[in-house]
Amino acid sequence: MTGTAVGTHTVVAEWPDAVTTELRPKPPTAGAAGKHLPSPAEPTTPVAPGAPWTDDPYAHALRTGRGPLFLRRLSHSDRPDGFGVEHTLPLDVERWCAPADAADTTVLRRCTGSVLDAGCGPGRLVAALAARGVPALGVDLSRDAVQRTRRSGGAAIRRSVFDHLPGEGRWGTVLLLDGNIGIGGDPVALLRRLRELAAPGGLLLAEAAPQDVDERLTVRVENAHGHHGRPFSWARLGTTALLSAARSAGWIQTGRWTAEGRPFVELRRPHAEHPHAQAPITERRPPS
Ligand SMILES: C[S@@+](CC[C@H](N)C(=O)[O-])C[C@H]1O[C@@H](n2cnc3c(N)ncnc32)[C@H](O)[C@@H]1O
């Protein structure tokens, strides 16, 4: 992990440590500890649908630190004739709620300057960075994610990455992990937004899907009992599609690697903004 380059401690320090907008607490949904996942043919249990990622079963899973939890596909814009084989996409709640693992460490080592984790979830990366003395801030829509991040020693605010954020244009590194390229359902728009947040010369460390996919879909968060939240737009991109979207959004690729089966790319915001500038693709191993 390097401490040089862009970004300063002030981008974190200037943000008050209170959670910004608390929602009125809602009663928890039913437990997510079912023994099996419902198949597409099984009826699901309708509940009053809450806002995605906030008061749907995701909140309950974060409180308990356990799944099973998954995204259920409701549409597949690329395949109007059907959904394909995967009707549900598992969400790795247990791993997200655990300390940073070996694959996460390959990301942490590449961080430079102050770090913004976009869609930080329960905040294992933010907490690991804080423990190493690296200024880091998580941003997430979910109150439970923000609370869990703060309980584990990290700083986090409850906000959308598309809203105004502290330190815009000054973050040394922005993280986009664990499928978060799907946020908003429009990867190029998301990557453009993240480029605004990074400092000139700053990094985006992003995780791609392990499969060679490029999908826009409508999903909802659902637990093993069929409790679910509202539908929302999502996307899944493998490395090729992610790199293509990143080029369209003005990022330069400076690295790519795989750790524990998880593909990552390192992208850099150009120092001078040339909309069509591209660097040669470089393959490199994670620093030891
Ligand atoms: C697939 S989960 C990834 C979780 C996370 N990276 C982790 O380590 O646990 C997506 C996360 O992004 C958050 N999220 C979704 N849309 C968001 C938005 N527009 N702005 C900020 N966070 C968002 C969700 O609340 C959720 O915590």
Q: Distance between alpha carbon 78 and the CA centroid of its chain, in Å?
A: 23
Three-class DSSP category at 124: helix
For ligand 1, atom 14: residue with the closest CA = 119
Check pocket membership of 161 for ligand 1, CB cut-off 6 A.
yes
Please determine, for residue 222, whether its predicted confidence score (pLDDT) is greater than 70: yes
Check pocket membership of 122 for ligand 1, CB cut-off 6 A.
yes
Q: Is the domain covering 17-22+100-218+232-268 a CATH 3.30.930.10 domain?
A: no
Check pocket membership of 54 for ligand 1, CB cut-off 6 A.
no
Helical H segments across 83-137, by residue range: 93-97, 102-108, 124-131
Check pocket membership of 179 for ligand 1, CB cut-off 6 A.
yes
Amino acid at 33: A
Give the pLDDT band (50/70/90) at residue 12.
low
For ligand 1, atom 12: residue with the closest CA = 119
Query: Which residue has tokens 């954020």?
Result: 165
Lay out the sheet containing 214-223: strands in order across. 88-91, 69-76, 214-223, 232-237
What is the average pLDDT value for the chain, to the nearest integer?
Answer: 81
Q: Give the residue, out of 89, 141, 159, 163, with the most ligand 1 atoms within 8 A of its beta carbon, to mutate for a pocket test.
A: 141
Of residues 285 and 209, more confidence is placed in 209
Please determine, for residue 163, whether its predicted confidence score (pLDDT) is greater than 90: yes
Please determine, for residue 154, whether its predicted confidence score (pLDDT) is greater than 70: yes
Of residues 46 and 38, more confidence is placed in 46
Please determine, for residue 53, whether its predicted confidence score (pLDDT) is greater than 80: yes
**Measured between alpha carbons, how far is 162 from 143 in angstroms, rounded to an integer?**
17
* Biggest CA pair distance of the chain: 54
Backbone phi, psi, residue 112, to 5°: -135, 140
Please determine, for residue 284, whether its predicted confidence score (pLDDT) is greater than 80: no
Check pocket membership of 70 for ligand 1, CB cut-off 6 A.
no
Give the pLDDT band (50/70/90) at residue 214.
very high
Of residues 115 and 24, more confidence is placed in 115
Q: What is the pLDDT of residues 54-85, one digit of tens each?
A: 878 999 999 999 999 999 999 765 554 444 54
Q: Give the residue, out of 115, 180, 190, with the most ligand 1 atoms within 8 A of its beta carbon, to mutate for a pocket test.
A: 180
**Measured between alpha carbons, how far is 14 from 80 in angstroms, rounded to an integer?**
48
For 223-248, the three-class secondary structure string (H helix, E strand, C coil) is ECCCCECCCEEEEEEEHHHHHHHHHH
Atom of ligand 1 nearest to the CA of 179: 1
Q: What is the pLDDT of residues 89-146, one digit of tens each?
A: 999 999 999 999 999 999 999 999 999 999 999 999 999 999 999 999 999 999 999 9
Q: Give the residue, out of 23, 94, 140, with the most ligand 1 atoms within 8 A of its beta carbon, to mutate for a pocket test.
A: 140
Q: What is the pLDDT of residues 231-283, one digit of tens each?
A: 999 999 999 999 999 999 999 999 999 999 999 999 999 998 655 544 433 33
Give the pLDDT band (50/70/90) at residue 226.
confident
% the chain with pLDDT above 90 = 68
Amino acid at 148: R
Q: What is the pTM of this model?
A: 0.82
Please determine, for residue 40, whether its predicted confidence score (pLDDT) is greater than 60: no
